[in-house]
Structure 1
Amino acid sequence: MTILAAAALAASLTVGGCGSKSPEAGGKFGGEKGLTVAPSTEAETEAETEPELDEETMDLIKYNVYIELNNDILEVLNNIDYYFVVVGDGEEFALLPDTGLTYGYRIVGLNTETLDMALELADMEPSYGEMDAMVKEMADPLRKLMESFSEISSMHGAYADNQYAKPKELHPVI
């Protein structure tokens, strides 16, 4: 099902470039108002609901997902930079004195959907060789960072209520 969603996304991005970009024209890329999906029945087999994608389409999907993963990694790197503007880089959690900034300064919460999709695609053809191996290798540490930054982002100043217990728990991950 995830691959079918990725195929639909890739198709919409490819075809979407041909339409108007005004919201009045039917969405962000235009022409999206008429997109409907027929409900599936129990009698349909999985093969019928997920058509086999050709190699070129799979390559386009995998490439685009890896690009999105790269963008997420850049956001994680930005979060790391912002985190250490406020927090010391020692093993123990410690706010830096006199920064005038609060914990969570400019931290953006990130979801792991793209990472999950990239991890699934890493085992599929076409092979991207070393890139597929890197996606598998970095998946767990990247997921921990993304989840930690999402928690920091969602705290909204509540971190001081429990004497920074949650930040102290998250700091070793970062």
Structure 2
Amino acid sequence: MTDEDVIYGWYAFHETWAVIGAEDAELLAGAVQRAQAATTVGEMRAVYTDVGDGLLPATADDWLSDLEDDDGDVDDAAEYSWSQLPGVEDGDWPPMPSRLTLALPQDVLNDLRQLPGVKHEDTVLNGDYLVIPRAAEADLVKVLTTHRYRAKRDDATVYALAGGDALYG
């Protein structure tokens, strides 16, 4: 049992509800949005400095090493596009919001799997996720609150987690 805040939202790309801890969602969505907004290498370097390596698709050193010139220097004024981050063009980052639901404790996942219409999906490249039908929203919230989560619907954050307009607009 917990007293944790979670957000949930509709993830249209997989036609499922996605659930993630509210604090993690805020941090990850912020990292995605800042990575998208950066227009120079220096601005993106600042994102790595502020956010840290854990939420971004590669360590700062790995990402910057790909941008070094022959002398090992990186031009902070050089143009940057978020698609330069490892995994963005392959669809590996940002993580699929539907997969983030699987970070919930096993007892919560077991209860979610019992809801009508919920099924387990596997993807070849990006792993598995739960499909929680749109019609199951009230049941989803009931399961979360039964496990003492404070659940708040936040479609905008789930959309931002997925890359927002940059990927789906």
Q: Which TM-score applies when normalising by structure 2?
A: 0.29
Structure number having the greater helix percentage: 1
The structure whose RCO (Cα within 8 Å, separation 6+) is larger is: 2
